Structure 1
Amino acid sequence: MKNKKQLSFLIVEDHDCVSKSIVETLKEQPDFIPEIRVATDADHALKLIKEKPPEIVFLDLVLKPAIKGVLTDGDDLLRELNKLFYRPKVIVMSKIDRLDMLDYVINQLNADSYILKSRNSLDEIIPAVEKVMEGENYFSPSVTKILKHQENLLEMDTTDIFILKKLSRGLIQSEIEAALLENDIYLTVSAIEKRIRKLKMRFDAKTTIHLIALACQNGII
């Protein structure tokens, strides 16, 4: 029998019924053995992460702050995680569907996935885990739809096309960064990743390979 992979999780959620549902969903799947910890506020979560970094964090954006705590909400925690040498994959689970917040959390704070809380959100947990462990992103269909139709966020420019062409030639983000610099365009690896994420949303691409194929089909590269 094939040995199951162990995966470590931290659930940051202040509603007990929600965190228990996530725990049950993770334990019921057959493909990996989950090691699960739970925190109900951002300060406690950051302490646990620094003590023993998990591979994946499930994060609610709206949290009750700890007494005498420094961090007030989930986005505060995400900002702190971005400062760490080892940053876990972050799957946001939230009811917030405002465009400004979605753009901020996904494109500025670099959340790896965003599941919009609904009656079907538990069904999205395992697909999201699988995606982030493959180095890809997962977004609820409704999240993708909201962002996809915002032309101000998703319009393409010559830099986007340059990035697509380099991706089609097999370059990784650091190599694309160097290629852009040779053309007097300075973008960090993080900024390049944000552009790739927006392009995936624009084309409704599931993976980077899928994005390249769709760009070719549309005559862009």
Structure 2
Amino acid sequence: MFNKVLIADDLGSINDGVLGLLQKLGINDIVQVQYCDEAYLKIKEGLLKKAPFDLLISDLSFVADYRKQTFTSGDALATAIKKEHPELKVIIYSVEDRFQRIRHLYNEIRVDAYVGKGRTGLSDLQKAVQDVFIDKRFISPAISQALSPTQDLEITTYDIRLLKLLSLGHSHQSMSTQLEALNITPSGVSSIEKRINGLKMQFGAQNRVHLISLVKDLGLI
């Protein structure tokens, strides 16, 4: 089993639950932090002292306060750690259930496990720790559909730009003017209107407001 584990979560109650689980698994060298920057520095310090961490368990969302942070989210922390220290195992433990964000972390950042906080969160986390220890990746069954090919969305960079402009309240004419200024095509009002209507159909949105709500929930904008 892992020898040295770092927990990064700004909620003490969550930290305590994870701490108890790790101790139950026979892990006693456990460090708890409440900031991503602090987690990053602890990892660096462990390497310098030749006492590296074997596993990082991190949340994604951290409430901002008076401290200025370089890493403001678990996503940023995981990205840096996986790039600089790919040998360090990383488990994300979060309430975040938006498919796009989960996919990005699991498929692109290549975190070793993604566990959803919830009714089965701690039992899933225990399974994740055990699987990751033997080099098996894990994702909570309740959110594993995020990786399903049937959830793929045919959406382009152009679509994302339109949706962002739409979310800011721009009219079709205003969107056309902005796209034309950036030499982005198609920029015609009729083309923009047609594509937005297509996106509403694709996402099953009833109107523009509903469309923006849906794509925000998916983490697309």
TM over 0.5: yes
After superposition, give the CA deviation of every residue in 1:34-77 in whole Å (9 maximum; x if it has no partner): 31001101100000011113111111000134612211111110
RMSD of the TM alignment (CA)? 1.8
What aligned pairs does 1:70-85 form with structure 2 within 5 A after superposition? 70-85=70-85
Query: Residue 57 of structure 2 aligns with which residue?
Result: 58
The answer to whether the Cα contact below 8 Å between 1:41 and 1:64 also exists between their aligned partners in 2 is: no
Q: Distance in 2 between matches of 1:51 and 1:141?
A: 35
d(CA) in 2 for partners of 1:151, 1:145: 7
- Aligned partners of 1:132 and 1:138 also within 8 Å: yes
- Partner-residue secondary structure (3-state), 1:71: coil
Q: Measure, in 2, the Cα distance between the counterparts of 1:116 and 1:6.
A: 21
Q: Does 1:37 align with 2:36?
A: no
CA shift digits 1:107-147 (9 cap, x unpaired): 11111001011021111122111111111101100121232
Map 1:41-190 → 2, pairs under 5 A? 41-52=35-46, 53-65=52-64, 67-85=67-85, 87-148=87-148, 150=150, 152=152
One-letter code aligned to 1:35: D
Q: Residue 33 of structure 1 aligns to a residue in which SS?
A: coil
In the alignment, which residue of structure 2 is the partner of 1:10? Answer: 6
Q: Could you tell me how far apart the structure 2 residues matched to 1:131 and 1:28 are?
A: 16
Confirm or deny: 8 A CA contact 1:115 1:121 kept in the other structure.
yes
Over alpha carbons, which structure has the higher Rg? 2
Paired amino acid for 1:19: N
After superposition, give the CA deviation of every residue in 1:15-45 in whole Å (9 maximum; x if it has no partner).
Answer: 000000100111123xx33310011011000
Distance 1:85 1:123, change over 3 A: closer
- How far off its partner does 1:149 sit? 5.3
Alignment of 1:173-212 (within 5 A): none
Aligned equivalent of 2:22: 26
Gaps of 5+ in 2: 47-51, 154-221
- Paired residues in the alignment total 147
SS in 2 for 1:82: helix
Work out whether residues 65 and 71 of structure 1, in 8 Å CA contact, stay in contact via their aligned partners in 2. Answer: no
Task: Give a deviation string over 1:166-216, Cα, whole Å, max 9, x none.
Answer: xxxxxxxxxxxxxxxxxxxxxxxxxxxxxxxxxxxxxxxxxxxxxxxxxxx
Which stretches of structure 1, 4 residues or longer, exceed 3 Å deviation after superposition? none
> TM-score when scaled to structure 2?
0.62
* SS state at 1:46 partner: helix
Deviation at 1:6, TM superposition (A): 5.5
Q: TM-score, normalised by structure 1?
A: 0.62
Q: Distance in 2 between matches of 1:63 and 1:48?
A: 17
What's the % identity of the aligned pairs?
A: 27
TM-aligned CA distance change 1:16 to 1:54, over 3 Å: same
The letter of the residue matching 1:40 is Q
Partners of 2:2 and 2:55 within 8 A in 1:
no
